[in-house]
Chains A and B, each alone.
Chain A
Amino acid sequence: MSEEGRVTREGHPKRGRRRAGLSERGVERVLTVVALSAIGVLGLITVFIFIGGLPAIAKTGLWAFVSGHKWAPGRGVFGIFPMIMGSLWVTIGALAIGVPLSLACAIFLAEVAPPKTARVIKPAIELLAGIPSVIYGFMGLVILVPLIRTHLGGPGFSVLASSVVLGIMILPTVISISYDAMKAVPEAYRDGSLALGATKWQTIVMVLLPAARSGILAAIILGMGRAIGETMAVIMVAGNATMVPGSLLDPVRTLTSNIALEMGYAAGTHRAALFGTGVILFVIIMLLSILASFTTTARGKAKVNPKP
């Protein structure tokens, strides 16, 4: 049954004679072209980001570009190592803050929340996803940065501030995908565990989370992508100094903010170096994206009981 396609005397209705209006075959052709729009755009993005960035990377040398500690556009020195480290730091920070909170919320929604409560929380989380990055960044700027400056020291604009803002921003992504993964665990697994006398919490830890782990992993990877790719919010709270941060309270510049901060006035090799930064970012994101889709297809295959 699962074997595809051997249809003798194949009689797809698309072969049908033309009736009023569009011909079926014409419709199918148009739709095929339309359906290729997303992959087409992806292809264009790849081509044009590379066209924009390769000159700078070629001029500096790939290794020098990614490992160089100095970013001095005025002198034509382009090393993005601090920004790579910056992105890494804030992403790890965001995951450290966002993932536990997200998983707790997802478990809460999937297992603990009374239906009425869930009906309030779910749209709220969707709304959280809809709030513009600039608003998050602004909240970080007026609330977090002063808070950190007064209580923890340093300029306030810091890895910590960025991590907190990004940690909140990845909540909707991680919550909704891991929630779906938890909901996909068959009810029988839970019943089996509960019937053995386990508490709900033991069931969650020993049965639910292991069963949903690949989905949760995909959620974390996608959240990571979101954190690495976020721009405007980070710019407003990170301080943007082009140095490798030494502590959580040091200012930091990410790959994304590097691009956004200087694109407005950059030209020539400088602009190409910003596109080069984009190339590195794009490659990281694509790798994460492939990794995430790999974990989800692995989950799809492992699913015992796909929905009828």
Chain B
Amino acid sequence: MNNRAIVAHKVAVGVLWASAVLTLGILVFILAYILYHGLPVLSWSFISQSPTEMGRSGGILPTIVGTFALTILALAIATPLGVGTAIFLTEYTRPGPLTRVVRFGAESLAGVPSIIFGLFGFMFFVIYLGLGWSILSGALTLAAMILPTIIRTSEEAIRAVPDSYREISFALGGTRWQTVTRAVLPSALPGILTGVMLGMGRSIGETAAVIFTAGSTLRLPTSVTDPVRTMAVHFYILAREGISMPNAYGTAAILVISILAVNFVAYWLMQRFIARHS
């Protein structure tokens, strides 16, 4: 080995380390910056009160309620579809034209930008189905958007369940569905939930897909047919229109804390899943 090669190696490794540190640094900086400016704004009244003067003062309660209503409804729609698709792909078919079509659909959908989901949701749910700007329209749009994530993670989780579990269940006289529900899914559950949490994270932070489907009303919703403004949309409007920087930071802080919590739970579930299958 000549010296130049060794020097090149050392320089390269240095650059690689620097890149990783830079990436980590960007993340830490963003989180720290938002929390540094946002945490002082937070108070019980900020969380529990409705905004006044378009958000210039008052709290952000309706946007918190709106965000979680949308997210939970979206998950309730997308999870059965996503997990069902994953079960279909792993347990009920052999690779063939049909699975290729299903996979193509999921993979392409994963690449569709959120603004396109927004346009589609507006045209289809809001106008064509007549659901108007509402929690329902927004949640359906979000469900379409997070469906591929749930399919992919569920499929990976289900595939990771050892075949021996299936054989045991079959050998004891279990039907395919019994085997799926009693032997496979319980084992794959943490992995599936990881996907659900990732979908949840995406829903909470999404703006473009919900702004044209769920609306941007600041009223507290009373039913799924009411329009809402999510935290992300509220933050965007506050910041972009310069309505109130402190309240924008406060909203961002709650947004970031929610995302952190969701990711932490997803990570924890994933670790449990890995521990169980090794």
Contact = CB atoms under 8 A, between A and B. Distances in A.
Interface of A: 4-5, 13-14, 16, 19, 21-22, 24, 27-28, 30-32, 34-42, 44-45, 48-49, 51-52, 101, 104-105, 107-109, 112-113, 117, 120-121, 123-128, 130-139, 141, 143, 168, 171, 175, 197-202, 204, 222, 225, 228-232, 235-236, 256, 259-260, 263-264, 274-275, 278, 281-282, 285-286, 288-290, 292-293
Contact of B115 (A105, A231, A293): A231
Contacts, number: 266
Interface residues of B: mostly helix, strand, loop or mixed?
helix
B13 interface: yes
Given A27-B177, A35-B88, A45-B120, A113 B20 contact: yes
Given A231-B208, A236-B239, A127 B260 contact: yes
Given A4-B94, A132-B207, A236-B240, A281 B175 contact: no
Given A133-B208, A285-B113, A138 B148 contact: no
Given A19-B178, A32-B92, A263-B118, 17 more contacts: A4-B94, A14-B92, A28-B92, A31-B85, A34-B80, A39-B101, A52-B119, A132-B205, A132-B232, A138-B235, A200-B9, A204-B12, A222-B111, A225-B113, A236-B240, A259-B118, A288-B111
Given A44-B124, A127-B27, A289 B107 contact: yes
Interface size class of B (residues with CB under 8 A): 35 or more
A306 to B, nearest CB: 13
Interface in B135-173: 144, 147-148, 151, 170
5 contacts: A27-B177, A41-B105, A121-B24, A229-B116, A278-B115
Contact of A52 (B12, B88, B123): B123
Contacts of B26: 128, 168, 171
Nearest to B80: A34
B33 interface: yes
Contacts of A256: 113, 115, 208
Given A39-B105, A51-B123, A259-B119, A124 B112 contact: no
A35 B119 CA distance: 24
Contacts of A259: 115, 118-119
B273 interface: no
B147 A135 contact: no
B256 interface: yes
Contacts of B128: 48
Contacts of B1: 197-199
Given A34-B88, A52-B123, A134 B80 contact: no
B112 A135 contact: no
B39 interface: no
A49 B102 contact: no
Given A52-B123, A104-B19, A108-B17, A132 B206 contact: yes
Contact of B23 (A13, A125, A236): A125
B27 A124 contact: yes
Contacts of A52: 119, 123
A199 B9 CA distance: 7
A42 B85 CA distance: 15
Contacts of A143: 33
